[in-house]
Amino acid sequence: MATTASPAAAPAGPAPNPLRAGLRLERIAEPCTMVICGATGDLTERKLGPALYNTLLGGFLPPEFTVVGFARRDLTDEAFRAHLLDGINKYSRNRPAKPSIWESFAAGIEYHRGDFDDAAAFTELAKRLDRIDRDRGTAGNRLFYLAVPPSLYPEIIGNLERAGLAASGEKRTTGPKHGWTRVIVEKPFGYDLASAQALNHEIAAALDEEQVFRIDHYLGKETVQNLSVFRFGNGLFEPIWNRRYIDSVQITVAETVGVEGRGEFYDGTGALRDIIQNHGLQLLAMFAMEPPVDLSAEDLRDEKLKVLRAVKPMPPEDVARNTVRGQYVNGWVEGERMPAYRDEPEVAPDSETETYVALKLAIESWRWAGVPFYIRTGKAMPSRVTEIAVQFRRAPLALFSRAGVPQIDPNVLAIRVQPDEGILLRFGAKVPGQGLNIRTVNMDFRYGSSFAVDSPDAYETLLLDAMVGDASLFTRNDEVERAWAILDPILDTWSSGEGGPLHFYGAGTWGPPAADELLERDGRAWRRP
């Protein structure tokens, strides 16, 4: 049975920031309450708490904004506030917390103890939220963040519906007949196509699709958001963004870490499900989509879906040739010894789970016909990096070879998503001096050095988007299902034993040699970030 903690006093709120008077005021959230289900977990401490604090610090949250932590652990309001403050002081990009800002934030933080399978806990939560509406003026606006394993989504959403908390405005059977209800769910969105469809069906039984915000934090990265501006806002690049000028595209999502104590989860998941299904294919869709009619969420997501629908499904006989799966063995990463994956806690000693994937995909569209898209992801890599690298076609004439200059390297455009967000353009230039000597040089744009402000963390962007109802950077149900439809044939072929062997690579290397061979057969090579 849930217990109700004492209400917090209403805060005076931060003073208006005159520096923000001319900014996009529509981006300031309405008064609302954010309920974090699973509030005592690692995600809240490392990401959600710091993101909310920084959003308040930036002047984007109103004084009425309220946070309710909902979890099984028996905590007081004060203990939960201390938990959030500790996370802000450890992980926020603006740390430590400023006392005046924290006091304003803390006055709107409460804790609600309950079990997610206890309907009574949700009934008590509904009463608490009604009281917060009255005391703090949150206007019936509620944002639920499910920071829990996806297996708990149906149970929590079902209890929200039974307690009258799932509906918005006039559709509500209890509580205020005004305001909105939105729900943020974390990946993974299913385990395969069938489970994703079942999960979407269960969610749709209680919520309208426009209420559901499937979060992929990669889409909140500044560089990913800048892709549309880079392509469609610059007359220089959009005309060459096609098969006539682009030879190939590489998408890399590399991590230096191993499984970090998540052995049981990861051993049942693997790199294809964990990264490619969401991050990898979403980056591909954002890069390759056609210009939308406008920048509305539906138009943007319609164009991403068109890209995913154009990705050629891989027949079983092509899987062994066009995919490589690997698993790391012991080695050295950033000067520290890393044990083999099979030696990690909660990992089967004979595990066949992949920690590395490389694959070649084709988009059968007018713009991209014949352009291969190579995607790779791996754990225990030499460096942590996410980037999209575009290799352009070589210049058609052997003009400089007649002057004794060997073949010039092709131009490369690298869009860095993390850690150093920016864009690099590589081209040939003459070396100063007598004679003709050509060397590849870089033009390098970095967000950190080009702008006098820090880029917001991805969760800051995405939480604020959810509060203002902008779903542009969130994944729609049909996108999720199409991504699984692309990958299910690969997973099935691997499971049957006909998808090629599991290759091994040393921790601290860029993957197994078979991944290099995947590109070498096409006369190409992986870019080394």
Known catalytic residues are 279
Helix axes 99-106, 77-91, angle to 10 degrees: 140
Strand 212-215 and strand 246-254: the pairing is unpaired
Any idea what DSSP says for residue 63? T
Question: What's the chain's Rg over C-alpha atoms?
Answer: 25
Identify the helix (H) or strand (E) that includes residue 44: none
Other beta carbons within 10 angstroms of residue 370's beta carbon come to 12
Instruction: Output the six-digit token pair for 443.
Output: 């033009």
Distances (CA, A) of 269 to 260, 351, 397, 436: 14, 12, 48, 54
Whole-number Å distance between alpha carbons of 147 and 145: 6
Identify the helix (H) or strand (E) that includes residue 480: helix 477-496
Instruction: Output the six-digit token pair for 358.
Output: 């490389």
Q: Please answer whether residues 358 and 331 qualify as being in contact, where contact means their C-beta atoms are separated by less than 8 angstroms.
A: no
Write the DSSP string, 65-100.
-EEEEEESS---HHHHHHHHHHHHHHH-SS-SPPHH
Whole-number Å distance between alpha carbons of 278 and 79: 35
Question: Can you tell me whether residue 517 is helix, strand or coil?
Answer: helix
Distances (CA, A) of 280 to 11, 140, 358, 477: 42, 37, 11, 17
Q: Please answer whether residues 389 and 424 qualify as being in contact, where contact means their C-beta atoms are separated by less than 8 angstroms.
A: no
**Residues 6 or more apart in contact with residue 275 via CB below 8 angstroms:** 253, 357, 377
Write the DSSP string, 272-341.
IIIIIIIIIHHHHHHHHPPPPSSS-HHHHHHHHHHHHHHBPP--HHHHHHHEEEEEEESEEETTEEE--G
Whole-number Å distance between alpha carbons of 398 and 200: 55
Instruction: Output the six-digit token pair for 325.
Output: 């799966």
Whole-number Å distance between alpha carbons of 53 and 1: 31
Whole-number Å distance between alpha carbons of 529 and 511: 14
Q: Please answer whether residues 292 and 299 qualify as being in contact, where contact means their C-beta atoms are separated by less than 8 angstroms.
A: yes
Instruction: Output the six-digit token pair for 138.
Output: 């949150």
Other beta carbons within 10 angstroms of residue 521's beta carbon come to 11
Q: Please answer whether residues 129 and 33 qualify as being in contact, where contact means their C-beta atoms are separated by less than 8 angstroms.
A: yes
φ, ψ of residue 156 in degrees (nearest 5): -70, -45
Beta strands in 345-487 (DSSP E): 356-362, 372-378, 385-392, 412-418, 422-430, 438-446
